[in-house]
């Protein structure tokens, strides 16, 4: 089965995405227009991305003086992506966009992630421009977002600092009104209130390169209070557009550099096709009007920067989940091919092994099959979850008031899972892909080790695993008196109800009901003492259990869809899907009991482990 057939099934059969075309925003679309986008992206990914996946890994970005050198393949892939129109796929027609549903856009982007995730930094550019469309002024949209959608300029998100990663409240980059330069007063600048920024930003993806003529940095910084001190906490954080090269009010390059200097490149384990940078803002390397300080334009209101940035981060988190899923599936496809051709060992028969018999293909060994089914269940399940969330985004924007509100709340709850579950379990899938290759998998002659290295990032960036778990158990399940969890349970109940019509799924429906009950009890028990230290001590096991329960629901829902359309399982791919559902219920879902036990008992073994005992 190919990635395309899986995406077609999930998008059209399972999520019924063509029904979106009856909505006003999407009336110009049909199944044919959706297919045309998928065809184009699949082709570009095959022709421009897949062939250079290894090239961008071995020719990692390097500095030559002030310049970043990248392989030519990265330029070609970047140009092809921009010319596909995908940078503005979801935007209005009048902005040059396609008004594509987000679920279709997400599915189309999956092809690039599967072919070469390392070069796929275009998502940062569209996410950056989408944020400006939501929070920028008309001029900021016209000058910055428009150029990004056209692929002329690219975008970054600059949150992290060397001393502030997970804890953004400790940012120290400062922004002060630019009182002494420019022809117009700082608060009358057509591009937005003008500030000077000083500080260091760490880990900035695509922070410097020459793929585009300009780079639009979206930077979080603090505006000092009247006493000159930075406001503590996240309340003091504001958001600024800081272009690498300065621009006029009409968006033309002035020819002058902004005071943003590349201090160095980080040399990464994987995902090497994208530069990762330490940027110094305002240190005086490129003074503007004779002064140190990077010129930045305020986006939105002072002190509301993090809320604006979250606009970009929620989309980014679904994209991380899909990227992790795609790497999981890339490893699955590679190890499936290998297992079908590699000969090794003989079958166990009643009379023992007969060495005179020819060797069998390793796919015939039960344990190799176990590793393949596991990868398939993790990878396709994670893809389904990501597309389900993307469909919720469409519902939030174009559904009726009730549907939109439910979608908003479900997204709040599911986003940490959509980011973290694929990051953890599709990484495990990559490890199994290496295992299937045996010693060859541990070499660089086969692609699977790179998939694992590339995927290892996903549990770290965009809010690390532990932080996502705290968000889930500490905030999301409690929001609006737990209404998100109730909504999720109702959707799972509806699936259980559907599954009752299929004898093959009866035991799964019962198991899902029991799992939901267990999650509910553990959530209540974790918070029963109202002590956050106890409640959150086992937040990651909680997220694992909740993630596995959500995936069990997704697989049951998929199995229902399959059996409703193909009751006798004529199609081999449908036998695979129902088989995956069975695998998930027999091998994976039972794990949640161990995870939830420590949550429900507020076990403090790890939290209170003595420092000196390590």
Ligand X SMILES: Cc1cc2nc3c(=O)[nH]c(=O)nc-3n(C[C@H](O)[C@H](O)[C@H](O)COP(=O)(O)OP(=O)(O)OC[C@H]3O[C@@H](n4cnc5c(N)ncnc54)[C@H](O)[C@@H]3O)c2cc1C
Which residues carry out catalysis?
A: 462
Please state, in angstroms and rounded to a whole number, the distance separating the CA atoms of residues 4 and 380: 12
Residues 379-408 that bind ligand X (CB under 6 A): none
Instruction: Count, in order, helices (H) and strands (E) of the chain.
Output: 19, 12
Give the nearer residue to ligand X in terms of CB position, either 178 or 454.
454
Residue identified by tokens 């428009």 is 146
Structure token digits, residue 315: 């989309």
In DSSP terms, which residues pair with 216 in a beta bridge? 155, 243
CB of 163 to ligand X, least distance (A): 8
Residue 265 contacts ligand X per CB under 6 A: no
> For the stretch 84-121, what's the b/e string if a residue is b when 16 or more beta carbons lie within 10 angstroms of its beta carbon?
bbbbbbbbeeeeebbbbbbbbbbbbbbbbbbbbbbbbb
Give the nearer residue to ligand X in terms of CB position, either 311 or 577.
311
Structure token digits, residue 451: 């998939």
Residue 450 contacts ligand X per CB under 6 A: no
Residues 6+ away with beta carbon under 8 Å from 507: 585
User: Which segment (137-145, 247-255, 462-470, 562-570) binds ligand X by CB under 6 A?
Assistant: 462-470
CB of 132 to ligand X, least distance (A): 17
CB of 166 to ligand X, least distance (A): 3
CA angle (39, 40, 42) in 5-degree steps: 65
Give the nearer residue to ligand X in terms of CB position, either 219 or 562.
219
Taking CB under 6 A as the criterion, the residue among 63, 134, 336, 467 binding ligand X is 467
Give the nearer residue to ligand X in terms of CB position, either 56 or 457.
457
Start-to-end CA span in the chain (Å): 48
Other CB atoms within 10 Å distance of the CB of residue 183: 6
CB of 217 to ligand X, least distance (A): 10
CB of 59 to ligand X, least distance (A): 17
CB of 228 to ligand X, least distance (A): 26
Structural contact between residues 488 and 480, judged by C-beta atoms closer than 8 angstroms = no
Structure token digits, residue 25: 């925003």
Residues 470-489 that bind ligand X (CB under 6 A): 470
Question: With contacts defined by CB under 6 A, how many residues of the chain interact with ligand X?
Answer: 21
Give the nearer residue to ligand X in terms of CB position, either 414 or 470.
470
> Which residue's Cβ has the minimum distance to ligand X?
165
Give the nearer residue to ligand X in terms of CB position, either 304 or 461.
461
Give the nearer residue to ligand X in terms of CB position, either 6 or 458.
458
Taking CB under 6 A as the criterion, the residue among 205, 280, 455, 544 binding ligand X is 205
Q: Which of 453, 448, 450, 454 is nearest to 436 (CA)?
A: 448
Cβ burial, residue 334 (10 Å; 0-12/13-18/19+): buried
Q: Which of 256, 240, 252, 249 is nearest to 296 (CA)?
A: 240
Taking CB under 6 A as the criterion, the residue among 466, 482, 520, 579 binding ligand X is 466
User: Which segment (136-144, 200-208, 223-231, 305-313) binds ligand X by CB under 6 A?
Assistant: 200-208
The DSSP letter of residue 579 is H
CB of 120 to ligand X, least distance (A): 13
Residue identified by tokens 């003492």 is 529
User: Which segment (32-40, 323-331, 391-399, 464-472) binds ligand X by CB under 6 A?
Assistant: 464-472
The DSSP letter of residue 18 is G
Please state, in angstroms and rounded to a whole number, the distance separating the CA atoms of residues 366 and 372: 10
HSE on the CB side for 68, CA within 13 Å? 26
User: Which segment (30-38, 292-300, 391-399, 457-465) binds ligand X by CB under 6 A?
Assistant: 457-465
Residues 268-307 that bind ligand X (CB under 6 A): 268, 271, 276
Residue 461 contacts ligand X per CB under 6 A: yes
Q: How far is CA 540 from the centre of its chain?
A: 18
CB of 424 to ligand X, least distance (A): 13
CB of 90 to ligand X, least distance (A): 21
Cβ burial, residue 548 (10 Å; 0-12/13-18/19+): buried
Structure token digits, residue 268: 């990464």
Give the nearer residue to ligand X in terms of CB position, either 11 or 294.
294
User: Which segment (62-70, 197-205, 232-240, 589-597) binds ligand X by CB under 6 A?
Assistant: 197-205
Give the nearer residue to ligand X in terms of CB position, either 58 or 403.
58
Output the furthest CA–CA distance in the chain (Å, rounded).
92
User: Which segment (299-307, 442-450, 453-461, 565-573) binds ligand X by CB under 6 A?
Assistant: 453-461
CB of 490 to ligand X, least distance (A): 31
The DSSP letter of residue 283 is S
Give the nearer residue to ligand X in terms of CB position, either 282 or 509.
282
Other CB atoms within 10 Å distance of the CB of residue 229: 10
User: Which segment (317-325, 445-453, 466-474, 482-490) binds ligand X by CB under 6 A?
Assistant: 466-474
Please state, in angstroms and rounded to a whole number, the distance separating the CA atoms of residues 158 and 177: 20
Residues 118-177 that bind ligand X (CB under 6 A): 156-160, 165-166
Residue 537 contacts ligand X per CB under 6 A: no
Distances in Å between the Cα of 447 and the Cα atoms of 326, 370, 426, 438, 451 are 14, 21, 15, 13, 7
HSE on the CB side for 389, CA within 13 Å? 26
Taking CB under 6 A as the criterion, the residue among 107, 204, 429, 598 binding ligand X is 204
Please state, in angstroms and rounded to a whole number, the distance separating the CA atoms of residues 30 and 519: 40
CB of 302 to ligand X, least distance (A): 20
Give the nearer residue to ligand X in terms of CB position, either 163 or 254.
163
Angle, to 10 degrees, between the axis of helix 305-341 and the axis of helix 448-455? 160
Binding residues for ligand X (CB under 6 A): 156-160, 165-166, 203-205, 268, 271, 276, 457, 460-462, 464, 466-467, 470
């Amino acid at each position: 089965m190919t990635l395309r057939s899986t995406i077609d099934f999930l998008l059209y059969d399972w999520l019924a995405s063509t029904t979106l075309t009856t909505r006003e925003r999407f009336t110009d679309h049909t199944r044919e227009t959706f297919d045309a986008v998928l065809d184009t992206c699949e082709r570009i990914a095959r022709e421009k991305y897949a062939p250079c996946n290894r090239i961008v890994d071995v020719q990692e970005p390097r500095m030559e003086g002030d310049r970043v050198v990248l392989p030519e393949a990265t330029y070609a892939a970047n140009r092809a992506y921009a010319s596909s129109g995908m940078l503005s796929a979801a935007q209005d027609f009048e902005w040059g966009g396609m008004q594509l549903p987000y679920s279709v856009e997400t599915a189309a982007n999956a092809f690039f992630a599967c072919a070469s995730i390392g070069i796929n930094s275009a998502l940062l550019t569209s996410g950056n421009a989408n944020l400006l469309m939501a929070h920028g002024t008309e001029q900021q949209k016209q000058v910055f977002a428009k150029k990004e959608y056209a692929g002329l300029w690219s975008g970054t998100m600059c949150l992290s600092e060397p001393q502030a990663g997970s804890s953004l409240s400790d940012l120290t980059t400062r922004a002060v009104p630019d009182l002494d330069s420019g022809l117009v007063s700082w608060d009358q600048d057509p591009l937005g209130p003008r500030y000077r920024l000083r500080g260091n930003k760490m880990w900035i993806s695509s922070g410097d390169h020459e793929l585009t003529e300009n780079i639009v940095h979206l930077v979080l910084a603090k505006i000092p209070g009247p006493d000159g001190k930075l406001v503590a906490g996240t309340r003091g954080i504001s958001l600024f557009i800081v272009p690498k090269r300065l621009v006029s009010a009409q968006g033309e390059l002035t020819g002058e550099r902004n005071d943003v200097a590349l201090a160095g490149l980080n040399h990464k384990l994987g995902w090497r096709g994208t530069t990762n940078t330490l940027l110094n803002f305002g240190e005086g390397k490129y003074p503007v009007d004779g002064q140190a300080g990077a010129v930045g334009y305020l986006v939105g209101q002072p002190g509301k920067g993090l809320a604006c940035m979250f606009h970009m981060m929620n989309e980014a988190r679904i994209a991380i989940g899909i990227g992790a899923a795609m790497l999981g599936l890339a490893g699955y496809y590679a190890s499936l091919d290998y297992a079908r051709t590699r000969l090794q060992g003989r079958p166990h028969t009643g009379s023992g092994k007969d060495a005179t018999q020819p060797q069998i293909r390793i796919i015939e060994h039960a344990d190799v099959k176990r590793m393949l089914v596991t990868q398939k269940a993790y990878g396709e399940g994670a893809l389904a979850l990501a597309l389900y969330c993307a469909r919720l985004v469409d519902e939030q924007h174009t559904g009726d008031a009730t549907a939109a509100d439910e979608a908003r709340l479900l997204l709040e709850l599911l986003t940490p899972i959509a980011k973290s579950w694929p990051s953890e379990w599709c990484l495990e899938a990559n490890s199994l892909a290496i295992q299937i290759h045996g010693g060859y998998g541990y070499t660089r002659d086969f692609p699977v080790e790179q998939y694992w290295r590339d995927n290892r990032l996903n549990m770290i960036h965009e809010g690390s695993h532990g932080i996502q778990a705290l968000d889930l158990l500490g905030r999301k399940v409690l929001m609006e008196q737990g209404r998100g969890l109730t909504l999720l349970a109702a959707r799972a109940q509806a699936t259980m109800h559907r599954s009752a019509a299929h004898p093959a799924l009866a035991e799964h429906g019962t198991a899902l009901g029991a799992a939901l009950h267990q999650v509910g009890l553990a959530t209540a028990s974790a918070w029963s003492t109202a002590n956050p230290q106890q409640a959150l001590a086992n937040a990651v096991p909680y997220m694992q259990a909740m993630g596995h329960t959500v995936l069990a629901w997704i697989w049951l829902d998929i199995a229902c869809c399959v059996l409703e359309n193909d009751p006798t399982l004529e199609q081999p791919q449908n036998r695979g899907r129902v088989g995956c559902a069975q695998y998930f219920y027999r091998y994976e879902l039972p794990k949640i009991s161990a995870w939830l036990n420590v949550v429900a008992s507020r076990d403090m073994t790890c939290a209170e482990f003595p420092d000196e005992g390590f």
